[in-house]
Structure 1
Amino acid sequence: RGVWLEETDPLARDSWLAVGELGGGGRADRILMAASVQPADLERLFAAAIVREARIEPGPSGRLRAVRIERIGRLVLRETLDEAPSADLIHAALLDQVRADGVAGLPWGEAGRALRARADFLRGLGEADAPDLGDAALLEDLDAWLGPALAGLRSLSDLSPARLEGALAAHLGHAAQRRLDALAPARWTAPTGNSFAIDYAAPGGPRVEVRVQEVFGLSTHPAVAQGRAPLTLALTSPAHRPIQTTRDLPGFWRGSWREVRAEMRGRYPRHVWPEDPASATPTARAKPRGT
């Protein structure tokens, strides 16, 4: 509850009062009896009870600043701003902020999210050595993997996605990264030699979007995790419009390719549409003019 004095009361301008009696009121009680107290008296009489601490809080610009506080219990005697807090204090506060907000709140970029999705995919397959890059595991080991990346920063907004991805890669280590690349590569290379990002977070498993002409000549369906997980191929037209999604490319060649070929030949006459795509030459180009 609050307390109040009449503005004309001689004690109304004092910073500290020792209140002896209050009168009932609505939202605040009226001070009926009090004595002025000087800060020096509080520091002298309660010296053993004074707690001095520094707290970190975001300033108007979003950057962290230190607030130095002297208090007796919940009674704050003095509060001052430190615009240049120590690096250790800032570092600890940033880690605490991540613990409070969660790992998901970090500025993950596409590469960082993909790395975590690849690890999660392998764990879902039951791969014994797959690293755990889930939220709970990263929070548990937060100081070790994220701590170095926060060195010298004053705000989490200063943490770039690239720096965050680098911290995660360093946390994995070289051997685990090589194992991850072998079982769950970030990209898939088509018969044309072009490579495409694999979306391991896609519903139904790892997925690649590729123009159908670039998989001509492919008679077996591509897979990852040593053949345990077939890729979902989202096949598109030369204009990158979807035409078929499959996890059985040979079955597609033998089945509905005839209907797809008839439609594509009419819509894109300058491109090659072979009757037997499994033995055709892959291409990323249209036919030369005049052919």
Structure 2
Amino acid sequence: MAISSSLAKVIKDIKTLKIQGSQEAAEAALRAYALAKDKESAAELLMSARPTEPMLFNALRAAQSGADPFELIKKFREDRKKIAEFGAKLIPQNSRIFTHCHSSTVVDVLKQAKKQGKSFEVHNTETRPKFQGRITATELAKAGIKVCHFTDSAVMVAMAGADLVLFGTDWISEKGVANKIGTAGFAEIAHLYYKIPVWICSHSWKFSEAQIEIEQRDPKEIWPNAPKRVHIHNPAFDIADAKFITGVVSELGILEWKTFIKKMKNKENGRL
């Protein structure tokens, strides 16, 4: 099937992570869908570009059901501001926050807390092999927030003394959340070892009860010229167990985990 060069570019940019973040991918997909002539085929191709993005799936399904793609984009951006406002309430004065990878939602929360005059520092991990943690560190530093940057394997040191953990996510279900590889272990360390709260900052549109497939990325991202007989495993995500998660900060407010899940299971029946 022949597709336009603009649609092909969006699909490629989502697949190769040139377009970072769940909301950014969903918005790019909605714009491409709106401009496509063959909308059903475009939706199918866009959904397959990144199989771990329920927000992209849910947004395109809503558009297929008649929602205006550009109104959805507007809503997502308004919701993101709400999440930042809610999330900033969680940041204590003179505190230390730990985060991993790059979540535009988490960055928004921390920037909002800074705007409110709160004093805090952020410890974050580099997030191999694509180093998305460097994006987080750069954005926070530009906002005037003190950042201490660590290798992923230094997480025990990085998390020491933290008051809370903030993670973004690509997928939420009753079982837990899927986020960049390392999140599952970090959530367990926070909950069991350091006994500090783990909050997920996310649009509710990332909720899905569908099974998620953990994307296996190109081994060359880790070791381009690995010796023969060395097999490289490069999972993009892992799933943090719900029992290690305190709750979710979404456009719906600050909700304990079970309360959020209950709301979403009721909401999903009517929306998705």
Pair member with larger Rg: 1
Q: Would you call these one fold, judging by a TM-score over 0.5?
A: no
TM range (shorter): under 0.3
Q: Structure 2 length normalisation: TM-score?
A: 0.21
More helix by share: 2
Q: Which protein is richer in strand relative to its size?
A: 1
TM-score, structure 1 length as denominator? Answer: 0.20
